[in-house]
């Protein structure tokens, strides 16, 4: 069933109480071309793992990120995620950009996303940004994000993991290139959009699919969850930390 996405409830007051925060929020301008051995350096995506390379990570962090990437891949290759994205009817590719159908987006997301090199970034905190460098994406991934991948799966821990899944799946939308080898789906990094954007909506759908699969939210709360987490921007880190919002959707 076609599902028009609303551009979220009004979150301005909510966000202002949190100050500026960005979670998986950025795409960056095209990077200097650096093929780094070409695509042969990346393992191919399989049913259980996406294509990526980790550069400059300590072993313990590497394991956490690899686990989160694999789990996120499991979410976005699930029928739950794919059916939801395919149902969306009014996503904008960027601010002021054209509308793209959910079905077309899904095709690009699963088949045309470039492999990604992840560099650890101490400066980025709990953010990430992604650019395209020729034949691959390059994500600077704030190591503070890793705190969102706790060892266990208590309800509180699942909320945190959902935020990491949001960040990773969001950044993957920025690893799809346009005809000029630039990031196709941008979100401008700062501030809010007046329309639902591909990047935030994909992140929120993955976020809420994960919460539904883990029985944190009920099936009929799925779209309210997506609206709350945000389709034009990210609602805020409290969705990662407190359960209160779950009773408001
Ligand atoms: Zn972004």
* 35 part of a folded domain: yes
Asked if residue 236 is part of any domain, the answer here is yes
180 Cα–ligand 1 center, Å: 19
pLDDT score of 54: 94
Count of C-beta atoms within a 10 Å radius of residue 80 = 18
Residue 2 lies in a domain: no
CA of 201 to the centre of ligand 1 (A): 10
Mean pLDDT over the full length of the chain: 85
Give the Å distance between the CA of 137 and the centre of ligand 1.
Answer: 13
Residue 219 has pLDDT above 70, yes or no: yes
Ligand 1: distance of its center to the CA of 29 in Å? 12
Residue 49 within any structural domain of the chain: yes
Q: Which residue did the predictor score with more confidence, 81 or 44?
A: 81
Domain-located, residue 113: yes
More confident: 193 or 217? 217
Q: Which among 59, 57, 55, 62 is positioned nearest to 36, based on CA atoms?
A: 55
Give the pLDDT band of residue 126 (cuts 50, 70, 90).
confident
Q: Which residues 6+ apart lie within 8 Å of 138 measured at CB?
A: 31, 116, 117, 119, 130, 131, 132
Question: Phi first, then psi: what are they for 101, rounded to 5°?
Answer: -75, 155
- Considering the domain boundaries, does residue 4 fall inside one? no
> Over the range 30-50, which residues count as b (16 or more CB within 10 Å of their CB) and which as e?
ebeeeeeeeeeebeebeeeeb
Any domain includes 33:
yes
Structure confidence at residue 3 (pLDDT): 75
Which of 222-242 are b and which e, b meaning 16 or more Cβ less than 10 Å from the residue's Cβ? Answer: bbebbbbbbbbbbbbeebbee
Residue 5 covered by a domain = no
Q: Is the dihedral of CA 17, 92, 29, 53 positive or negative?
A: positive
pLDDT of res. 27: 55
Distance from the alpha carbon of residue 27 to the mean position of ligand 1, in angstroms: 5
Stated pTM of the model: 0.86
Q: Ligand 1 centroid vs 193 CA: distance in angstroms?
A: 12
- Domain containing residue 199: 12-248
Which position has the token pair 């159908």? Answer: 101
Percent of the chain with pLDDT over 90: 71
Q: Which of 47-51, 57-61, 221-225, 233-237 has the lowest mean pLDDT?
A: 47-51
What pLDDT is stored for residue 8 in this prediction?
42
Distance from the alpha carbon of residue 190 to the mean position of ligand 1, in angstroms: 9
- CA 164–ligand 1 middle distance (angstroms): 13
Q: Number of structural domains, the chain?
A: 1
């Amino acid at each position: 069933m076609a599902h028009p996405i609303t551009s979220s409830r009004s979150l301005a007051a909510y966000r202002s109480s949190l100050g500026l925060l960005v979670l998986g929020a950025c795409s960056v301008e095209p990077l200097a071309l650096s093929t780094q051995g070409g695509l042969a350096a990346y393992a191919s995506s399989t049913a259980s793992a996406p294509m990526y390379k980790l550069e400059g990570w300590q072993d313990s962090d590497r394991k956490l990120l690899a686990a989160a990437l694999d789990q996120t891949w499991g979410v976005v290759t699930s029928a739950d995620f794919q059916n939801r994205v395919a149902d969306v009817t009014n996503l904008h590719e960027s601010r002021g950009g054209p509308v793209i159908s959910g079905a077309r987006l899904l095709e690009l997301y699963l088949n045309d996303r470039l492999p990604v090199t992840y560099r650890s970034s101490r400066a980025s905190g709990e953010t990430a940004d992604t650019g395209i460098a020729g034949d691959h994406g390059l994500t600077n991934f704030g190591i503070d994000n890793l705190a969102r991948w706790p060892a266990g799966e208590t309800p509180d821990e699942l909320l945190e993991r959902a935020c990491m899944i949001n960040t990773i799946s969001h950044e993957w939308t920025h690893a799809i290139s346009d005809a000029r080898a630039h990031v196709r789906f941008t979100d401008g990094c700062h501030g809010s959009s007046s329309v639902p954007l591909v990047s935030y909506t994909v992140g929120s759908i993955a976020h809420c699919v994960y919460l539904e699969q883990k029985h944190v939210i009920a099936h009929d709360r799925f779209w309210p969850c997506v609206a709350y987490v945000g389709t034009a921007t990210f609602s805020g880190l409290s969705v990662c930390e407190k359960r209160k919002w779950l009773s408001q959707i």
